[in-house]
Structure 1
Amino acid sequence: MEKSWFTISVYSENNVGLLNRISGIFLKRHINIESLNVSKSEIDEVSKFTIVVNTTESWTRRIVSQIEKQVEVIKAFYHTDEETIYQESALFKIASHLLFDERQIQNIIKESNSQIVTVSRDFFVLAKSGRRHEIDQMYFELEPFGIMQFVRSGRIAVTKSEMPITSLLEKFQH
């Protein structure tokens, strides 16, 4: 089977240790988590894990099944990139003199639709949101000038189709 990118969405109670157990499921199968984000969900007191993996659909299905066996997990889903709308964010810290001395830096900022978050005497910080390849492209373009610091978030994603989690929870509450 061919490897693909999958976004796994896990809805759970917010309990200590769950992240460790979920990551252990991937560790046992030697599958790398490419991106991880945990946040509040659209449902009160329910957290949403957004996990990105590059593996086969068969392995993804097995992983989701194992995740759902965790007591605190309400429901887990997986989707392909085509079934989701997703973004990442990144911050780039660059030496300030480059902003004024290198015309190409100004072009990169403009063409990448990034924002200058702050400017100080020694450095400035750029923020870029977009798809992974867009952030990778900006990194590639800025790297020759020297990146003082770089950080990127995990993927955040919503599905194009309706997520049945809300209706599922309503059944439990009645």
Structure 2
Amino acid sequence: MNEEIKTLTISIYTENNIGLLNRISAIFQRRHINIESLTTSQSEIDGVNRFVIVVNITESQAKKIVGQFEKQVEVIRAYYHKDEETIYTESCMFKIKSALLFEEPQIQNIIKDSNARIVTVNKEFFVLEKSGRRNEIESLHRDLNVFGIMQFVRAGRIAVTKDEMKITEMLQAFNNHNN
């Protein structure tokens, strides 16, 4: 029986070392797995970073990959989660000609209906910021594209798990060991 490909969020808790991103991406590359989004930031513990990587793979592939990550010296722990096990969001920004804000009343409705936020306005352009699910961002992109988008950028997924993760105690112990 073929296993179903799912959108999975992989979380990797690591030390902050140079070259780790290359080794992490090489693990995906060797398996011919495309990364849909990748975000890295400080975690809830000082000195520990967290990678949040979104991929479309089977759960058995995810288990193997998580095992590969944990073989990396700097990786403290790695996990994967299904969408229904996480609370997640993405952010984006749109840069649009300012004239449209005043000449096209429909744009103001689009902004209001999408819960986007105007970050800045000047004579040449205005910038919108939107956080939400990928489909909400794609919908806003389609709506604004009709009027012309000067620039667009989307950040990768950020996510937390619905259930408590036992990583917190482990990270606390790691942090105490390194201080």
Task: Report the TM range for the smaller structure's normalisation.
Answer: over 0.9
1:51-107 per-residue CA deviation (whole Å, 9 max, x = no partner) reads 000111111111111111100000001000000000100000001110001111001
Written as runs of structure 1 = structure 2, the 5 A alignment for 1:146-161 is: 146-161=148-163
Partner AA of 1:145 in structure 2: F
Written as runs of structure 1 = structure 2, the 5 A alignment for 1:126-145 is: 126-145=128-147
Counterpart-to-counterpart distance in 2, 1:164 and 1:12: 15
Mapped contact 2:34–2:55 kept (Cα < 8 A): yes
Q: In percent, how many aligned pairs have the same letter? A: 66
Matching residue of 2:47: 45
Query: Would you say 1:88 and 2:90 are equivalent positions?
Result: yes
Counterpart-to-counterpart distance in 2, 1:170 and 1:126: 38
16, 25, 31: which one aligns with 2:27: 25
Gaps of at least 5 residues in structure 1 are none
TM-score using structure 2 length: 0.94
Distance 1:170 1:97, change over 3 A: closer
Greater shift in the superposed pair: 163-172 or 113-122: 163-172
Distance 1:126 1:171, change over 3 A: closer
Matching residue of 2:61: 59
Matching residue of 1:162: 164
74, 77, 80: which one aligns with 1:75: 77
Matching residue of 1:122: 124
Q: Alpha-carbon deviation of 1:170? A: 4.3
Matching residue of 2:10: 8
Counterpart-to-counterpart distance in 2, 1:27 and 1:124: 38
Q: Alpha-carbon deviation of 1:171? A: 4.9
The number of equivalent residue pairs is: 174
Counterpart-to-counterpart distance in 2, 1:145 and 1:34: 27
Q: Alpha-carbon deviation of 1:168? A: 2.0
Counterpart-to-counterpart distance in 2, 1:169 and 1:128: 32
Counterpart-to-counterpart distance in 2, 1:91 and 1:170: 35
Counterpart-to-counterpart distance in 2, 1:171 and 1:127: 38
Gaps of at least 5 residues in structure 2 are none
Q: Alpha-carbon deviation of 1:169? A: 3.4
1:10-62 per-residue CA deviation (whole Å, 9 max, x = no partner) reads 00000000000000000000100000000000011000000000111111111
Counterpart-to-counterpart distance in 1, 2:21 and 2:149: 31
Counterpart-to-counterpart distance in 2, 1:48 and 1:157: 11
